[in-house]
Amino acid sequence: MILIEMMCDLCDFTLLLQSTPSLIISLFGLLVTGKLLENVVETTGMQKFPILLQSNCILNFKGNVELLYALYLSSLRQNDCVTYEKYLRYVFDNGNLVLLQSITIGITIGIIGIARSILVGIFELKLLTTILTTSLVTCTITTLIFILLLYLTIEFSKWMSISPDNVILPTLGSLSDFLSIRFLILFTDYFKHFSIYILSLTILSCLCIIPFCIFFVCASKKRMPIQSVSILAFTYILSTFGGYILDKMSIKYTFVASSFPVYSGLAVSISFIYLHKIFTSVSNRTEHNSKLSYLTLIITSFLMIVFYILLSSIFDLKRSLMFYALFILFFIFQVMLLLKLIEMLAKFLQCYDGDIGIISLPIVTAVGDVTSTTLLMLLANIKDN
């Protein structure tokens, strides 16, 4: 009885029970995503394409925009003062804004991929055009899917009387990651057989969507905030640097390609639950026991990473006990770091009336990626020794 009482004091069982199923779904999605990237690294015909660099940039650049949209949409749906008609208008108008940003991001990532290829001595015009096309088409299609799934998920959460804070960000975040990587690989393999003329028409078709998005965005009366140029520049540089290191590391250590989506994605998904709770609490002026949520999410992170190790040991080669112990410790350390970062940002931004969601989300994602890359580099060196 004493042990049960202690557990009740240390853990929010509602949060644990509601977040665990969605995180398990996320875990399976990220596990499959990792295997997809590992297969790409080992496939000779795909090695000339900067898939890992593109993947990392897509997951960060596009992921931030989508999750920010989810953050505001979920918070608005929980606000009883907002009518359903106004909510639907917000969904549509800001969905166009997200799509517009995603198309722009697709072009940016394509240019980053082209720059990387040129730096390693690849000047083939068709290959460079393929890189731009795959990035643009992947970002456009997966964002449209994300917007639809987000709306359905929020409505399902409302109908089931489940807090969307514990479901939306972890589930949709990893699902979007999986779809982005899957489509990127499929489109790369598909478009590499096309002529430059067809690729150019495909790019033009995606760009034709932009005027329609701009029209609806300009006509909107309630738009969600857009991240500042300084925040975007900071996070883009960090993510691009992390993606480039990841791209280089995966050549020698294939396990890094499969582990990174889980190591980074799962830690960030867990931390986003914390961010979402703080954001909803501040936006709707409700109480939130941050200490209890913090301890619960640390326990959750331990359970999730142990479950991942059990799954990966079934499908992958067995590794040493020391490796698994460090794998778990590094992961929990990363989650603790991200949760503390969110706390610091929330306190700082509240003092200066800053927007917690729009500033914290990209910073947490970028820091999570760099931390994951650094910790996996340490694990790779330990594995060698």
Rounded CA-CA distance 20/175 in Å is 15
**Residue 7 reports pLDDT greater than 90:** no
Residues in the chain: 385
Mean pLDDT (whole number) for 236-265: 79
Asked if residues 379 and 323 have their Cβ atoms less than 8 Å apart, the reply is: yes
Asked if residues 332 and 305 have their Cβ atoms less than 8 Å apart, the reply is: yes
More confident position, 289 or 342: 342
Predicted pLDDT of residue 1:
47
Asked if residues 375 and 330 have their Cβ atoms less than 8 Å apart, the reply is: yes
Six-digit token pair at 313? Answer: 């040991």
Predicted pLDDT of residue 158:
78
Domain assignments of the chain as residue spans, ordered by start: 2-384
Mean pLDDT (whole number) for 181-188: 92
Rounded CA-CA distance 73/158 in Å is 12
Mean pLDDT (whole number) for 90-94: 89
- Which residue do the tokens 């720059």 mark? 115
Give the list of residues 6+ apart from residue 99 with CB closer than 8 angstroms, or none.
140, 143, 144, 147, 209, 213
Six-digit token pair at 11? Answer: 């853990």
pTM metric for this prediction:
0.81
**Residue 352 reports pLDDT greater than 60:** no
